[in-house]
Amino acid sequence: MAPMGIRLSPLGMAVFCLLGLGVLYHLYSGFLAGRFAFFMLSEPAAGGPETPHGSGAVDLRELLAVSVLAAVRGGEEVKRVRDGNDLNAKAKGKTREGAEEQLTSGDLLSNRKMFYLLKSAFPAVQINSEERVDTADQETVSWNRSIPEDIKQKIQPKEVPAESVTVWIDPLDATQEYTENLRQYVTTMVCVAVNGKPVIGVIHKPFSAYTGTFMPSHLSSIFSHSKTPRIIVSRSHSGKVEQVARQTFGNNTVIIPAGGAGYKVLALLDVAEKNQEEADVYIHVTYIKKWDICAGNAVLRALGGHMTTLSGEEISYTGSDGNEGGLIASINMNHKALIEKLPDLEKTSHK
């Protein structure tokens, strides 16, 4: 019997129960539909076509594999042109210091091979290159999605959003030295940055076919050669750096003029390359393009080293294609202490 003397109609009770069941049905069916949609989005449909980069994702292990291949393929073009003495060199402008910048067939052919190989494999990824890409001269270069065994063994797959990735290509680093037939300085480079941070770096030396494993030097003090610190710099900037370096580190400081940012980074590492000089620190005191330094920055980061502006700021590989603050690079030493020792060089980097 209902309270207060109110009697419930059997028909009303039936309607109430039906309404309750209807509400529960809709709530539960919505929950099931949501769970079903979640699993459909999370797992590929069985028997469907393979989609290695679904929903705008990029696998960094695959990108590393194709970056290595691109650097090697570009290097083949660089070597072929130089061996055939078919450079067709011409001036493409001047640097901020007033030096003529050279452009050769090696630059252009290497750039075309590297750019279109990367673009065909990862069409959604932004690719920045030192040389202009002529769409009228497009080349079909495919990747068979093969990953070398050493990469498979050392690197696990890792997907990141395609929009977070920027690839920087230097199809021929040290073009001036290339025209002078100073082959030891020449490299081809690929760098991958995620959200501006360099995470993959490939440096290939086409004239020795060197793309080896990077191993850090074992430094016992602030310099590996404590009595004769060795600083590697651009050939055109050695005079600017030498005076300050000797005042800072002593008159016995060795200044190594060299060509190519890739070559200079390799000088900081213990690489099995007979034509590679060795140094403790790499310093650059003027404006430099990011495709020149991104790959080397990634390599140093992977090995626990550092590459920063002369004032110690991290270099971001998004936005503009140039770095205004100069750079200082080192590995296995007190990088902050090095920066504090070079206060005067930062002032020259914007000139």
Q: Is 292 annotated as a binding residue?
A: yes
Q: Is 150 annotated as a binding residue?
A: no
Annotation marks residue 321 as catalytic: no
Mention every residue, 6+ apart, whose C-beta is less than 8 A from residue 242.
Answer: 253, 255
Q: Is 170 annotated as a binding residue?
A: yes
Mention every residue, 6+ apart, whose C-beta is less than 8 A from residue 290.
Answer: 128, 168, 315, 317, 321, 322, 323
Q: Cα–Cα distance between 348 and 193 in angstroms, integer?
A: 28
Q: Is 182 annotated as a binding residue?
A: no
Helix (H) or strand (E) holding 36: helix 10-42
Helix (H) or strand (E) holding 190: strand 187-194
Lookup result for tokens 């910048």: 101
Annotation marks residue 175 as catalytic: yes
Please give the backbone phi and psi of residue 284, each rounded to the nearest 5 degrees, phi first.
-130, 130
Q: Which residue is catalytic, options 104, 107, 187, 286? A: 107
For the chain, how many residues are written? Answer: 351
Q: Are 107 and 169 in contact (CB under 8 A)?
A: no
Q: Is 277 annotated as a binding residue?
A: no
Amino acid making up residue 59: D
Q: Which residue is catalytic, options 104, 166, 175, 187? A: 175
Annotated binding site: 130, 170, 172-173, 292
List binding-site positions for Mg(2+). Answer: 130, 170, 172-173, 292
Catalytic residues: 107, 175
